Each structure stands twice: as structure tokens, then as C-alpha cells.
Amino acid sequence: MKGMRVTLAVVIALAALGVSGCGADDEEAGTTTPTETTPAGTALKGSVGPGFVISIATDTGEALGTLAPGSYELEIEDLASIHNFHLTGPGGVDVSTSVGEEGTESFQVELEAGTYSFVCDPHASSMNGSFEVSG
């Protein structure tokens, strides 16, 4: 009986070692963030609402990654009258839609190197994000 317990313990230990060795390397595991630089001139699309959601992406829906400095057309789709979309950052960038209004609004923005923040002003603690410009 004692020999059977030892054999069973060895089998369990070997199985555990085999399972822990399966899968991807730590570098390959987990989610990835875009590493490519989005070129200047790419159209950007921001969205806020109708729920408590705020986002910004390329006009084709791709995640931003890092943006290159330059001029961008930013189109904001404001889907809820209780929200707004407010973008601020280096170089005096400060554009926003109005709380109480819905619709689409476009802005021409000149982005310099640095971190840019976007928020819904009435719900800034939960509806916010940022992106980087470098190059």
C-alpha cells in the first residue's frame, strides 16, 4: 500500500510538471498592445456614449498604439446628451464636444510629442483614457 502511495505521488508530481511546462513563454502570453506608430494625417475617430463608454481609434477602428507627431482630423461621435468628449494635451490641444448635445463634430488637431488625455468631463473618474505621441 505504501509503494502505491509513493507511485501515485510521483505520477501526480510528473503530471503537474508537464502541465506547468505547457503553453506560451511569458513574453508571448497575455494581451498585446499595438506597437506600430500610426502616421500623421490618419483620421481619428472618438466616441462617447450611449452607455458609460469613451474611446478613440483610427477611422478604421484600429487601436491607436503610438501616434506620430503631426496634423490629424478628429471626428467625435457623441451618442449621449449626458456626456462629452474632451481631448487635452501638449501644445495647447484642448477640444471638446458639449454636454447636453448629441451628434458628430470634427476637429483639426496638431499633435506634438507627449501624452494626451481624453475624458467625459461629468464622469471623468470612470470615463477616461490616454494615448502617446512620439517620434
Query: What's residue 113's pLDDT?
Result: 97
Q: Grid coordinates in use for 68?
A: 506620430
What is the DSSP track for 25-71?
-TTTSS-----SEEPTT--EEEEE-SSS-EEEEETTS----EEPSEE
Query: What's residue 42's pLDDT?
Result: 87
Q: Within the chain, which residues score under 70 in pLDDT?
A: 1-35
Determine the 3-state secondary structure of 75 from DSSP. Answer: strand
Which H or E run includes 114? strand 114-119
Determine the 3-state secondary structure of 94 from DSSP. Answer: strand
Query: What's residue 24's pLDDT?
Result: 39
Torsion of CA 4, 5, 7, 13, to 10 degrees: 160
Q: Grid coordinates in use for 69?
A: 507627431
For 6-28, the pLDDT digits (tens) are 444 444 443 443 434 444 343 33
Query: What's residue 135's pLDDT?
Result: 86
Query: What's residue 6's pLDDT?
Result: 42
Phi then psi for 75, rounded to 5 degrees?
Answer: -105, 120
The model's pTM is: 0.73
**Architecture of the domain delimited by 39-133:** Sandwich (2.60)
d(CA 65, CA 54): 16
Query: What's residue 119's pLDDT?
Result: 98
Query: What's residue 15's pLDDT?
Result: 42
Q: DSSP assignment, residue 109? A: E
